């Protein structure tokens, strides 16, 4: 009898056959503040979310520059961990807009921002259907140029949302100038990805 869960013979399994040579690993970036999300460009440039209120651009040669509308030292100077993560700006997820600008899901300011590569920032959305948007965790742009976000919770002090009896997270899509909730009832929604279908 054949094993019903055996993989078909179709070449190497990229997961099972994965290996890493320690000599090929190197560190990129230094003194980053909470690099929750990193975008890569074909030329090797990296863009890292940074808790100082924007992104850090890491060039292929390793040089880096912080780009923010207004630098916030609050993350570094916060007296307690709860203050550090509950007050002020906290860029979380990043995505490239169609024109190359950077979409920022700002977990601290509870909004979706658009930032040009020189730091000019505007709020794309801070509410849905007249209600505060909540803790915007992740942003994604699909192949049809629609913007999707995940919202972890609507509770301002998100640390109180880390519990099994609260399912106020949701996924929303931005189209035709406004957001619409497309799925809800999640426990602390985090990152999403789409398949090719």
CATH topology of domain 33-186: Neuraminidase (2.120.10)
CA distance 9 to 18: 17
Q: Which 3 state secondary structure label does DSSP give 75?
A: helix
Residue among 27, 77, 80, 25 nearest 51 (CA):
77
Q: How far is CA 120 from CA 8, 58, 102, 130, 137, in A?
A: 52, 19, 10, 26, 21
CA distance 106 to 93: 7
Q: Provide the residue-wise pLDDT of the chain in tens; the chain has 197 residues.
A: 454 555 455 666 777 878 888 998 888 999 999 999 999 999 999 999 999 889 999 999 999 999 987 545 554 566 666 665 666 788 999 999 999 999 999 998 899 999 999 999 999 999 998 999 999 999 999 988 999 999 999 998 888 999 999 999 999 999 888 899 999 999 999 999 988 76
Q: What is the pTM of this model?
A: 0.82
């Amino acid at each position: 009898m054949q094993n019903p869960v055996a993989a078909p013979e179709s070449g190497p399994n990229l997961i099972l056959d994965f290996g890493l040579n320690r000599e090929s690993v190197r560190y990129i970036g230094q003194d980053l503040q909470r690099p929750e999300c990193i975008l890569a460009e074909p030329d090797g440039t990296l863009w890292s979310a940074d808790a100082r209120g924007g992104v850090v651009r890491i060039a292929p040669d390793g040089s880096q520059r912080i780009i923010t509308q207004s630098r916030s030292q609050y993350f570094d100077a916060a007296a307690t961990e709860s203050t550090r993560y509950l007050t002020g700006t906290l860029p979380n997820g990043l995505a490239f807009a169609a024109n190359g600008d950077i979409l920022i899901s700002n977990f601290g300011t509870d909004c979706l921002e658009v930032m040009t590569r020189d730091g000019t920032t505007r709020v794309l959305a801070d509410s849905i259907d007249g209600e505060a948007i909540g803790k915007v965790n992740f942003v994604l742009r699909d192949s049809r140029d629609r913007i999707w976000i995940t919202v972890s919770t609507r509770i301002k002090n998100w640390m109180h949302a880390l519990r099994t009896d609260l399912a106020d997270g949701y996924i929303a899509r931005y189209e035709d100038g406004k957001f619409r909730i497309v799925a809800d009832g999640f426990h602390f929604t985090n990152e999403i990805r789409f398949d090719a279908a």
